[in-house]
Amino acid sequence: MFPPSFLWGTATAAYQIEGAAAEDGRTPSIWDTYARTPGKVRNGDTGDVATDHYHRWREDIALLADLGVGAYRFSLAWPRIQPTGRGPAVQKGLDFYRRLTDALLEHGIEPVATLYHWDLPQELEDAGGWPERVTAERFAEYAGMAAEALGDRVSTWTTLNEPWCSAFLGYASGVHAPGRTDPVAALRAAHHLNLAHGRAVQALRAALPPAAQVSVTLNVHHVRPRSQAAADVDAARRIDALANRVFTGPMLEGAYPEDLLRDTAALTDWSFVRDGDVRESHQRLDFLGVNYYTPTLVSGGAPSSDHGSDGHGASAHSPWPGADDVSFHRSPGARTAMDWAVDPSGLHELLVRLSGDFPRLPLVITENGAAFDDYVDPSGEVNDPDRIAYLRGHLAAVHSAMQAGADVRGYFLWSLLDNFEWGYGYSRRFGAVYVDYPTGTRIPKASARWYAQVARTGEVDA
């Protein structure tokens, strides 16, 4: 049994579900440009229509109400609100989110808004993107604008979702938008994402009521060495620095880790970090959002052709600057359609570690879930026992971590709907609700009914 105060929710992201890519003033994001580039996304899929949530949001909120969840985590589309990344807001874009949040509140569902889930306005990328300092300045302005417009409805805000993906998959390995392959640009992007987060927190707190909650969501990697040999342990340390501490250091502790600076010294002297930047990045948070899917297994001493892109796509370029001699390995166990190992123990260990490292900072699981090869059977049902088993195991891991002292306040299932899964297009299904893409028809899966029971009772069956 989870405590009655535990928050149950589900999550989505704007580019993955909204569609309406050119309606009501929205202009292209880096993902529009990337997806429309031949060869970048499987089957040439784009988010132009996605699940058409922009037009079918009432139907989707009804699905949320049927799930009985207490909260819905969604992202605001920056190019829908501020198309060029500068200047005044587009009221039609804000009105969409006003309607959405009003309807959520009418159903007793708490709106949880993420400011940035990877859809940078293309004009800002054309001006240099996240490797340039001006992007952090623009992001803070956008954050204040969104808070002023929606702060009377939305009381829980997240600045960034998974900045590791934005920086290192977007600018180092190139398997995410904007598709650049420059390791120094990736490190610069990581820093300016840290700075953008800190400035956005300040902008949010200036515009929101005092009781509002502000957070950031990190895909904290649970990195394991393949053995206890010194080279393997050091490889895990290096990847932990690049995956996790490059963000938790500035955001949560007020300093970049010294070992990260040493490990990347051959690439950059970090002179792009100006006096006061880290202090600005380090802002008080109400909780830390944690996304977890699978652990990371590494060894040292000999590079492999697998650069450890977390299954997001193959590239000749590594997302790990300065770690070319680290090898990545398949973790043992059953696997999802993303070829990720199913390992709830990694979530337990990660939560216990985070609670020890940051004992006064509550934790919320902001994404956890699995893709499987779902299909509609002849009776019209979508039975997904593998997903139910995955969720059961990971919720048990959350509960055991709480019993071990981790202060975990909530859990958001990824995802409400099958959707555009980035470089995989529509070939991977994470949703609790099946989407027939040609027609847009929604069919709740067996896992949706199972999760609804969990959300209602707080109890995970054995």
Catalytic residue ranges:
162, 367
Of 106, 126, 113, nearest in space to 77 by CA: 113
Q: How far is CA 75 from CA 6, 11, 180, 299, in A?
A: 22, 9, 24, 36
d(CA 320, CA 239) in angstroms, rounded, equals 7
SS3 459: coil
Q: Rounded to the nearest 5°, which phi and psi values hold at 221?
A: -80, 130
Which residue, 217, 136, 125, 116, is CA-closest to 171? Answer: 125
Between CA 50 and CA 16 the distance in angstroms is: 6
Please state, in angstroms and rounded to a whole number, the distance separating the CA atoms of residues 187 and 195. 13
39, exposed or middle or buried, with CB in 10 Å at 0-12, 13-18, 19+?
exposed
| Selection from 45, 23, 42, 51 nearest residue 32 by Cα | 45
Which residues are registered as beta bridge partners of 74? 113
Q: Looking at the DSSP assignment, which residues form a beta bridge with residue 280? A: none
Instruction: Spell 136-148 as b/e; 16+ CB within 10 A means b.
Output: bebbbbbbbbbbb
Strands 156-161 and 7-11 come out as: unpaired
Query: What are residue 178's phi and psi, to 5 degrees?
Result: -90, 5
**Cα 93 from Cα 54, distance rounded (Å):** 10
Which tokens in the block code for residue 77? 């589309």
